[in-house]
Amino acid sequence: MSKRTLALLAAIGATTIYGLNHTVAKGVMPMYVKPFGFIMLRVIGAALLFWSISFFGPKERIEKRDYPRLFLTAVLGMGINMLVFFKGLQLSTPINSSVLVTTTPIIVLLLSAIALKEKISNRKILGITIGLIGAIGLILFGTEIRQDAPNIPLGNFLVLMNSVFYGSYLIVAKTLIKKYHPFTFMKWLFTLGIFLCLPFGYTELLEMDYTNLPTDIILSILFVVVGTTFCTYLFNIFALTQLKASTVSAFVYLQPLIGISYALVTGQDTLTTVKIMAACLVILGVYLASRKPIKKQRASKLSDS
């Protein structure tokens, strides 16, 4: 099997895990672990795993001048981002969250235009507008009465904010990702994440009844910690070594399809007209916003030939 094929499988694997995560994590909260306590398990577990494999990477230190940027990256990516997503998922539904997180490419494009003064074409502006209309429509009108989703509008809003903070994290982290080995970067990022999330998740972490957790719940927690937090990053890194970033990012279109399908199959969520319309608008918006101009596509093909 070629490295390119393995890279494609890795990208598919990461997207699949992300898609399944919405339903798997939702099934654990809040009966067995509350959202902020779940985040503590996630950052502690991932930190231990990344420290373990860091011995196989280069021995390097973070330069002092990079401390402020690393801290800001941790606040956005390991602190606020994770906290609002899991709280939003607890309050909302798996399908809603799997649709809304797909707006991340749109958010990155919008933030890049604001913070980095990058030019945006009319087509991308149209894509941003359509995608945000779908997201806002889901927040305002995607309500339903569910015992396991006590505040869907607020939950949807928090999941959308997750995309905003994650998009900000990607922009701020760009310099550090280029400068340091992934193992070095991630072990320190998750270590900082422990201290950032501790004030919010410490009490909820202690409230867990560890001795009476059912086997399926333990497996679900391991899936989120090992799969969603650890494996997906490694899969994406490997995929990027063999594929173009645009190719890897294209797999974002699969995430809502996988998330919705799994939620329906397991009976954890139901489809409504609003959800279908919102998903179509968001996916169309992401496609228009992330699609390269025809001239650039031709130039890219010529350079590859």
pLDDT at residue 294 in the model: 55
Parse the chain into domains and list their residue ranges: 3-293
Among 283, 33, 9, 22, residue whose Cα is nearest residue 155 = 22
What is the distance between the alpha carbons of residues 256 and 247, in angstroms, rounded to a whole number?
Answer: 17
Spans of the chain, pLDDT less than 50:
299-305
For residue 121, what are its two tokens? Answer: 């074409």
Can you tell me the distance from the alpha carbon of 133 to that of 283, in angstroms, rounded to the nearest whole number? 11
Burial class of residue 53, CB neighbours in 10 A (0-12, 13-18, 19+): middle
Q: What local confidence, expressed as pLDDT, does residue 299 receive?
A: 47
What does the block give as tokens for 302? 């010529």
267 phi, psi to nearest 5 deg: 75, 20
pTM: 0.84
Rounded to whole angstroms, the Cα distance separating 94 from 260 reads 7
So what's the pLDDT on residue 301?
47
CB of 23 within 8 A of CB of 203?
no
